[in-house]
Amino acid sequence: MMPELVTNGPLTKLSEEEELFRDTVRDFAEREVRPRVTAMERASTVDPALLAKCFELGLMGIDIPESHGGAGGSLLMTVLAVEELSAVDASVAIFVDVQNTLVNTLLRKWASDDVKRRYLPRLATDLLGAYALSEPESGSDAFGLQTRATRQGNSWILEGRKLWITNGAEAGVFVIFANTDFTKGYKGITAFAVERGFKGFSVGKKEDKLGIRASSTCELILDGCEVPAANVVGEVGIGYKVAIETLNTGRIGIGAQMIGVARGALTAALKYAKERKQFGKPIRDFQAVQFQLAQAATELEAARLMVYNAARLEAAGEPYTTQAAMAKLFASQVAERVTSLAVELFGGYGYTKEYPVEKFYRDAKIGAIYEGTSNMQLNTIAKQILK
């Protein structure tokens, strides 16, 4: 039984519906995900049967409106799902996270009624999505992207490459950003809904990664990719706004992933501290170890408060850009510290794949990199507080 690290304070107190949902996902993670973790890690791919079960449970369409076949839930419910899954396997969690906070949210807020009708019901039931902004020379400088979109009759022709695309190997639809007019700079950037089967589209190299290994990270190749004009998401030229606002939401999801990873590692460390003996007694009896665990639990709770607060602000329609950046920054820092401590408390065993903490340690590192590096979060925070 894992320790309950959620307080009953005003920020972390959940409604009965939210508690039931959290507990359902927690049970799913233990029953369906945990037995598959080792095999998926070794194979560097998610079990397709598990992905299907995520759809069956409704985890892939949490905030899609019921009118489009989704659960009609909130961002906080997505946060709860991502946290619970990450406490077992961050790779499975990122499938759920990207689907909900980037793809579904973007289409729900920006797409035409026609695009919503065609894609949202399937995204809730059987279609995996991906978000494609980054390029070989355009990571933190997202608006420096070089992918070109040229109008040709009733279609747009996309030329370029995308890199570091999560869910790339499995996704059936991709939200791809390209520039329709380089003379306008970032104001030429436009978002497109691109199906895997479109002419000129292909998935390239799959990255061999340090962590979240079961999650695919791929290159996308756009070689004269033909996209119907009806698949523009939002209006032509406002893709920069679509990207920024979506990433603000996505960062809350990454914060949730990181508190889940930290919680999984801390739970394992608390259990092992009772079992591992040194100098004739369990290491949990040493005050130095107790203080380290107490510090880790405190930082984890603080990170959770920040993530939940950002999610609640978004749901209330309040400004949350700064809080999302702070939550992602701090949660990723806490995840690195807590997972590192867990490895150390396991001693030599912590450095082996026989125990789970080395995986938590590797999975934690990505939090400081994707959906905006820690330096980019600091940049965002600094701009906001110095206004």
Domains with residue ranges and CATH for the chain = 16-128 (1.10.540.10), 130-238 (2.40.110.10), 241-385 (1.20.140.10)
Give 139-162 pLDDT, tens digit per residue. 888 889 999 999 999 999 999 999
- Residue-wise burial string across 45-56, b where 16 or more C-beta atoms lie within 10 A, e elsewhere: bbbeebbeebbe
Model confidence band, residue 9 (pLDDT cutoffs 50, 70, 90): low
Give 87-127 pLDDT, tens digit per residue. 999 999 999 999 999 999 999 999 999 999 999 999 999 99
pLDDT score at 13: 84
Angle at 4 between CA 212 and CA 274, to 5 degrees: 85
Long-range Cβ pairs for the range 346-354 (8 Å, 24+): 346/268, 346/269, 346/272, 346/276, 347/276
Mean pLDDT of the chain: 96
User: Which three-class secondary structure state does DSSP give residue 365?
Assistant: helix
Model confidence band, residue 11 (pLDDT cutoffs 50, 70, 90): low
Query: Mean pLDDT across the stretch 247-251?
Result: 97
Give 341-386 pLDDT, tens digit per residue. 999 999 999 999 999 999 999 999 999 999 999 999 999 999 999 9
**pLDDT surpassing 50 at residue 189:** yes
371: annotated active-site residue = yes
Active-site position among 135, 299, 314, 371: 371
pLDDT score at 142: 86
**pLDDT surpassing 50 at residue 4:** no
Query: Mean pLDDT across the stretch 171-197?
Result: 98
pLDDT score at 1: 39
Q: Minimal CA–CA distance to 200: which of 229, 220, 177, 172? A: 220
Q: Minimal CA–CA distance to 133: which of 156, 100, 160? A: 160
**pLDDT surpassing 80 at residue 66:** yes
pLDDT score at 3: 44
pTM (2 d.p.): 0.95
Give 266-319 pLDDT, tens digit per residue. 999 999 999 999 999 999 999 999 999 999 999 999 999 999 999 999 999 999
Q: Minimal CA–CA distance to 166: which of 219, 245, 222, 101? A: 219
Instruction: For the chain, give the percent of residues with pLDDT over 70.
Output: 97
Q: DSSP class of residue 197?
A: T
Model confidence band, residue 6 (pLDDT cutoffs 50, 70, 90): very low
Query: Mean pLDDT across the stretch 40-54?
Result: 98
